[in-house]
Chain A
Amino acid sequence: MKIIYTDALIVGGGLAGLRSAIAARDKGLDTIVISMVPVKRSHSAAAQGGMQASLGNSIKGEGDNEDVHFADTVKGSDWGCDQDVARMFVTTAPKAIRELAAWGVPWSRIGKGPREVVINGKKETIVEKDEAHGLINARDFGGTKKWRTCYTSDATGHTMLYAVANEALKREVEIHDKKEAISIIHENGICSGVVARDLITGELIAYVARGTMIATGGYGRIYKQSTNAIICKGIGVAIALETGIIELGNMEAVQFHPTPIVPSGILLTEGCRGDGGVLRDKDGYRFMPDYEPEKKELASRDVVSRRMIEHIRKGKGVKSPHGDHLWLDISILGREHIEKNLHDVQDISKTFNGIDPADEGEKGWMPVLPMQHYSMGGIRVKPTGESTKMKGLFCAGEASCWDLHGFNRLGGNSVSEAVVSGMIVGEYFAEYCATTHLNTNTFTIEKFLEEQKEYLEEILSYDGGKNIFDIKDRMRTIMQDKVGVFRNGKDLDDAVNELEELLKMVKEITVTDKSFCNNPELNEAYRVTKMLKLALCVAKGALDRTESRGAHYREDYMKRDDENWLKRTLATWTNPNDTMPTLHYEELDINKMEMPPAFRGYGKKGAIILNALSEVRETEIEQIKETLGKVDRFTMQEALLSFELPNNYKRKNERVGVGYD
């Protein structure tokens, strides 16, 4: 057993982890990133569509700024987000994208003059300004007022991840891949590192650091059908839960994406619809305008996903051996556009389904169905990114519940969050590491190492004859069928009970290969156990939340209930022998909101039980506005909601035509 010391330890080498590592290195800290897979293979690479930042370069983004982005994000979250964090985020996002540009991300650029685009299924010509020539372009995405999603064709996450990873290599961040964190070392509420497993040799290593950051991404693989990579198992989040101290926030907030391809679950980017693609049913009929006359295919993801399932339930789905599905039609965009801007989409469709989406008419339609896509929930942290409960443990990216996304995140906001939180939280984290002394002793470290060794040996000694793969399948099917797009009390109750049974059943498995090293079956055994705990947090959270908000939709409680449920679910696993998480809640304070809860502008109107405080706050805001009179938007904003940012990130952002206004 090996102990490695460093100043700053980061678990997870996706966008969030690597950008944080850069922040730490820039403070001169020795920094190690450990990752389950080579960092450039992290799931961030899969993001196709783009990154939101209110640059307002394109004519279709004119007038965009932090305020508009903020409003979109808050509405998108169905008022579940933390508005302080949303403010921090929208102010830093333009800086993030410009930093990435300087690091070489080849953002698609604007060419001045007329350009043909497809809006609403119709070809239109827009004219780009001369002074915007060569600046970063943006496309339309669901749930946004302006065209704000910057992109590199449809490999945005890939180019971003490579730029950030290369910058990390340049700064001599130490990268240890094929290492999996399996437990958090902590004492007296302070974290001092993790126990990791070398996935090649099986060796247990204690990584000991002044500060530890978890940036391990999402946990979509608890669902049978998911767009996520197969490593998105949430182990990083689960080990935080297993400390018994750390809280997970809003685990029931799971996003379903409207257009993964059937049956493989590989995502077809929202850019397909953003660029003008449409959804069709078995009759080839474009049905979205009937449900959402204003936003149509581009309403927020939770809405589109539900409408699709609703439409299928009306018998309008296309029958197939893999169940019913609908069609996504992008052939109207024209072959040239597809081959240039949606190349990967075409590639995926051709390779995995043998369909060329550029083919005119029905031949080019791609089968799609909503599937799990994003985990809004995660480790609950303060705006600084530090766990609400454990000192020295930070979290950023999809693994966290920072809470930018509330109950639904907007497309393009999550790679953006990953980088932006890497900058902001990374900075706070680095600050912490730079000013804190290591506070642990070898005795504690060895205790944690020993504990994990014994745990793994225990797994190898189970001898009940059951198979971990069956348990996993069962779990994923339950989640799919009972904790999906539409939820109801009975199914959720069943799901919680069955999942609990499965968790107990883990002790009855037999691992056939008894070796410690290079044993994928052993890996699966402890991972599935951890996944089951997360699944329980999701299912139990969903069962108890008797309202519909954002992506969480209850057929038996169809209204958003601000009166009772304007609060964040917090889950802890108080005792290692528990078979059920303990839930409690954190109220959201309407009195401090810059934008008190209201109608989102899409979805069903009148499906809201408003909180009386909304109106109170609304009046208060009006008053503040009146008192201040004519001031610039920054002063006004500050008066409504004051927030802090490290590292000068609060500077105003320059924009074409308007300068720093």
Chain B
Amino acid sequence: MINKSQQVEENPEGYREIEITIFRYNSGKKDDKPAYQTYKLIETPGMTLYIALIKIWSTMDHHLSFDFVCRAGICGSCSMVVNGKPRLACKTRTEEFPDGKITLLPLPTFKHIKDLSVDTGNWMNDMSIKVESWIHSKEETDIAAIEKPIEPDVAQAVFELDRCIECGICLASCSTKIMHEDFVGAVGLNRSARFAMDPHDDRTDDEFYELIGDDNGVFGCMSLMGCEDHCPKELPLQTKIAYMRRKMVSLK
């Protein structure tokens, strides 16, 4: 079913008109049927999907649901499928699409809520608990004393991996995750690698094996590289998954 809603806008500068087609479905409503709805609007200079969606929402269709928080590519809320590719909507500029046609779908693999909105928070919390995404240390830290020195390069390397914003794009781009619900995905494996590299964490490889040494963990990854190629933070997922895999396989 395709609904067209049209809106006549002022367009004195003669900007082009773009067409945004959005997946509409309310998972919370029993009798709702999935549909696509197309909106036409005038593209303003520097328009991002955030700007476009807010415009549609506040002037054409108040019922549309989507998630934005920071609108600056920092918080990871606004992931959605843009013309087939999972991306951060707030960082996607409409001018990237020469034919002016954009289709938006909610992020797959997460529990669907409504329209473009999905539930990422609970999944990410569960994942964090599953891979025990926190420092394990037997030492008591005296917080009034001088902190433990860390090599600047090491701190920088850990930081690189700590940049993940739990946007879920790696999962939505991973066919393994699409097929196997319980796979922790690149986000989880990267998290393990991050702690494995952190000098504050004294977990052994054996202990990491307990967390990710199975087919829902590192051995579930089939090196499809969707994660690596779509991660908006350009994390080195390819090398870090390989790093964890080598570590885990070399255990006795």
Do A and B touch (CB < 8 Å)? yes
By a beta-carbon cutoff of 8 Å, the part of chain A in contact with chain B is 37-43, 45-46, 55, 94-99, 101-104, 106-111, 133-137, 152-153, 155, 158-159, 162-163, 165-167, 169-170, 175, 177-178, 200-201, 229-231, 263-264, 266-267, 321, 340, 344, 347-348, 351-354, 469, 511-513, 515, 517-521, 524, 651-656
In the complex, the chain B residue whose C-beta lies closest to that of A103 is B135
CB-CB nearest 7 A-B residue pairs: A38-B121, A134-B149, A521-B62, A102-B141, A106-B159, A109-B152, A177-B121
Given contacts A40-B166, A512-B62, A512-B63, contact A653 B121 (CB under 8 A): no
Q: Collect the chain B residues with CB atoms within 8 Å of residue A200's CB.
A: 28, 113-114, 119
CA–CA, A583 to B163, complex, Å?
44
Q: Collect the chain B residues with CB atoms within 8 Å of residue A263's CB.
A: 46
A45 touches B74 (CB 8 A): yes
A104 touches B201 (CB 8 A): yes
B147 touches A101 (CB 8 A): yes
Q: Which of B29, B125, B155 has the most CB of A within 10 A?
A: B155
CA–CA, A133 to B155, complex, Å?
12
Given contacts A37-B121, A109-B149, A159-B159, contact A104 B63 (CB under 8 A): no
A351 touches B146 (CB 8 A): no
B63 touches A513 (CB 8 A): yes
Query: B152 touches which one: A108, A178, A348, A651 (CB < 8 A)?
Result: A108
Query: B137 touches which one: A97, A102, A178, A653 (CB < 8 A)?
Result: A102
In the complex, the chain B residue whose C-beta lies closest to that of A354 is B46
A134 touches B201 (CB 8 A): no
CA–CA, A133 to B149, complex, Å?
7
Sample of 11 further A-B pairs with CB below 8 A, known A264-B46, A520-B64: A37-B121, A40-B165, A40-B166, A98-B143, A102-B148, A104-B134, A106-B159, A108-B156, A133-B149, A175-B121, A264-B48
Which residues of B from 23 to 63 have beta carbons under 8 Å from A?
26, 28-29, 45-46, 48, 57-59, 62-63
CA–CA, A45 to B72, complex, Å?
11
Q: Collect the chain B residues with CB atoms within 8 Å of residue A41's CB.
A: 69-70, 75-77, 121
By a beta-carbon cutoff of 8 Å, the part of chain B in contact with chain A is 26, 28-29, 45-46, 48, 57-59, 62-65, 67-77, 91, 93, 113-114, 119-122, 124-125, 128-129, 132-135, 137, 141, 143-152, 155-156, 158-159, 162-163, 165-166, 195, 198, 200-201
B73 touches A347 (CB 8 A): yes
In the complex, the chain A residue whose C-beta lies closest to that of B151 is A134
Q: Collect the chain B residues with CB atoms within 8 Å of residue A165's CB.
A: 128
| 15 CB < 8 A contacts A-B | A37-B69, A41-B76, A103-B200, A106-B162, A109-B149, A158-B74, A175-B121, A200-B113, A230-B68, A348-B73, A469-B59, A513-B62, A518-B26, A518-B114, A655-B146
B144 touches A135 (CB 8 A): no
B134 touches A166 (CB 8 A): yes
In the complex, the chain B residue whose C-beta lies closest to that of A651 is B144
B73 touches A654 (CB 8 A): no
Given contacts A169-B128, A264-B71, contact A134 B150 (CB under 8 A): yes
Q: Collect the chain A residues with CB atoms within 8 Å of residue B122's CB.
A: 38, 177
Q: Collect the chain A residues with CB atoms within 8 Å of residue B198's CB.
A: 104, 106
CA–CA, A220 to B217, complex, Å?
42
CA–CA, A177 to B156, complex, Å?
31
CA–CA, A653 to B152, complex, Å?
23
B128 touches A518 (CB 8 A): no
Q: Collect the chain A residues with CB atoms within 8 Å of residue B70's CB.
A: 41, 43, 45-46, 229-230
Query: A38 touches which one: B71, B124, B150 (CB < 8 A)?
Result: B124
Q: Collect the chain A residues with CB atoms within 8 Å of residue B137's CB.
A: 102
A152 touches B162 (CB 8 A): yes
Q: Which of A41, A96, A169, A351 has the most CB of B within 10 A?
A: A41
Query: B134 touches which one: A107, A155, A167 (CB < 8 A)?
Result: A167
Q: Collect the chain A residues with CB atoms within 8 Å of residue B135's CB.
A: 102-104
CA–CA, A549 to B215, complex, Å?
61
B200 touches A102 (CB 8 A): yes
Q: Collect the chain A residues with CB atoms within 8 Å of residue B165's CB.
A: 40, 45, 158
Min CB distance A519 to B, Å, is: 7
Q: Collect the chain A residues with CB atoms within 8 Å of residue B113's CB.
A: 200, 518
CA–CA, A263 to B45, complex, Å?
10
Q: Collect the chain A residues with CB atoms within 8 Å of residue B159's CB.
A: 106, 108, 152-153, 155, 159
Q: Collect the chain B residues with CB atoms within 8 Å of residue A655's CB.
A: 146
In the complex, the chain B residue whose C-beta lies closest to that of A35 is B121
Query: A109 touches which one: B28, B59, B133, B155 (CB < 8 A)?
Result: B155
In the complex, the chain B residue whose C-beta lies closest to that of A104 is B135
Min CB distance B95 to A, Å, is: 10
Q: Collect the chain A residues with CB atoms within 8 Å of residue B141's CB.
A: 98-99, 102
Q: Collect the chain A residues with CB atoms within 8 Å of residue B121's CB.
A: 37-41, 175, 177-178
A656 touches B74 (CB 8 A): no
CA–CA, A147 to B162, complex, Å?
25
